[in-house]
Structure 1
Amino acid sequence: MSKVVETTVYQLDELSGTAKEKARAWYREGGFDHDWFEFVYEDFQRIAEILGLRLKTRAVRLYGGGIRQEPCIWFRGFWGQGDGAFFDTFYSYRKEAARRIRDHAPHDTELHRIADALQAIQRRNFYQLRAEASHRGHYYHEYSMAISVERDSPTGQDMSADAENAVSEVLRDLARWLYRQLEREYKSQTSDEAVDESIMANDYTFTDTGRRFG
């Protein structure tokens, strides 16, 4: 025999402090399922282009049956040892990268340092260094990038002794920089203020204990 059960539901701002925390936890665990990192990725692709990186791409199938190419950028975070970010790329010298990166990000001194370091090692090798970074292993951090460096010299001249290590470390520094941007964006979007705003905008309702209702 069917029966009608009435339940009183509440908006987020009507809940007690403990119930609010439970509602926020629900959103962070299940409601927070969009590509929150999209703008970080877009900015990183622009930065990569300025520095002379050509990010590798992978084919992603769309719901409508089509295919699009997405950059090979990966990360895992933000709580465990071994979390980090990496990318698959080709690299070669890009003229005026140091100036252009300052135009793009005038206050980011770490990006300035990275651009200057690439400029310096390229100068010692007559701007002939090339590199490739590809993922290896099962981890998601800068040391999961296998990086090879070579000098494209028309006379067969060897690269300087420090070139391979210098380029590799700068690319890994860039991966660390990317991870910090992702972590900062995630913390911003999962802050109490941002979560509350999203919950209210979507008119989610809860029981008095903070359990999601509708």
Structure 2
Amino acid sequence: MSDIIETIVYRFEELSETARDKARAWYRESGFDDDWYNAVYEDFQRVAEILGLNLKTRTVRLMGGGTRQEPCIWFRGFWSQGDGACFETFYAYRKGAPRRIREYAPQDTALHRIADALQAIQRRNFYQLRAEASHRGHYCHAYCMAISVERDSPSWQDMTADAEDTMIEALRNLARWLYRQLESEDDYLSSDDVVDEAIIANGYTFTEAGQRFG
């Protein structure tokens, strides 16, 4: 014979502060949208295009059986040694990048410095430098990017002595910039105010102790 058990459930705003903390912890662990970082990725793709990067893509299988192309961007974070972000790309000079990046992100001085560094090293090499970055290893940070640099000179002129190091550092700085954007987005989405708003908007219910019900 079946038993009927009645349980009183509470909306978030009805919980004690201790129970709310437990409800927030549940949401941060289980309630996050798996694609929370998409907006950051989209912004990065726009930044990459402005700077002259042509991000590589990979084929991703969809649940329905189809496929789609996604940019080769990876990250891991945000609390362990070795966490970071990296990407795979081809790079070539993009005219007007410093001006355009300032128009796109007028307050982001880190991006301005990256664009200026790329512009300066390209100028010293008659705008003929090209680079390729590929991911290597099991981690996802700036030093997991294998970066090769060459000068596409019709007269076979060598690149300047500082070209390779400057280019590599600029692309790694861009990976560090991407990681900071992801970390900031995670901090924002994990904040009490945003978590509380999401829990209330979704109408989740909890036990008196703050355990998710249903």
Shorter-chain TM-score range: over 0.9
CA RMSD of aligned residues (A): 0.7
What's 2:146 paired with? 146
TM-score (norm 1): 0.98
CA apart distance, 1:63: 2.0
Within the alignment, does 1:94 sit opposite 2:102 as a pair? no
Written as runs of structure 1 = structure 2, the 5 A alignment for 1:61-76 is 61-76=61-76
Distance (Å, rounded) in 2 between the aligned partners of 1:24 and 1:212: 10
Equivalent in the alignment of 1:180 = 180
| 1:101-131 CA distance string (max 9 Å, x none) | 0110011111111000000000010000000
Alignment match, 1:43: 43
Structure 1 segment 184-199 matched on structure 2, within 5 A: 184-199=184-199
Superposition misfits of 4+ residues, deviation over 4 angstroms: none
Q: Partners in 2 of 1:83 and 1:62 — Cα distance?
A: 27
SS in 2 for 1:157: coil
- TM-aligned CA deviation for residue 34 of structure 1: 2.7
Q: Structure 1: which amino acid aligns with 2:23?
A: A
TM-superposed deviation, 1:61: 1.3
Q: Distance in 1 between matches of 2:114 and 2:186?
A: 24
Amino acid at match of 2:139: Y
- Amino acid across the alignment from 1:60: V
2:123 and 2:11 map into 1 onto residues whose CA distance is 61
CA distance in 2, matches of 1:34, 1:81: 23
Tell me by how many angstroms 1:65 deviates.
Answer: 1.8
2:79 match? 79
Cα deviation 1:10-38 (Å, max 9, x = unaligned) = 00111111111111101110111331111
Partners of 1:187 and 1:34 in 2: CA distance: 15
Q: How far, CA to CA, are the matches of 1:209 and 1:58 in structure 2?
A: 45
CA distance in structure 2 between the partners assigned to 1:21 and 1:146 by the alignment = 43
> 1:69 is paired with a residue of what secondary structure?
strand
Q: Which residue of 1 aligns with 2:161?
A: 161
In 2, Cα distance between equivalents of 1:139 and 1:73: 12
User: 2:92 corresponds to which letter in structure 1?
Assistant: S
Query: Mind listing any 5+ residue stretches in structure 1 that lack a counterpart?
Result: none
- 1:8 to partner: Cα distance: 0.4
Unaligned runs of 5+ in 2: none
For residues 181 and 139 of structure 1, the distance between their equivalents in structure 2, rounded to whole angstroms, comes to 18
The whole-number CA distance in structure 2 between the counterparts of 1:108 and 1:101 is 9
Q: Give 1:153 deviation, angstroms.
A: 0.4
- Which residue of structure 2 lines up, in the alignment, with residue 10 of structure 1? 10
Task: Give the distance between the partners of 1:145 and 1:32, measured in 2 at CA.
Answer: 29
Q: Give the structure-2-normalised TM-score.
A: 0.98
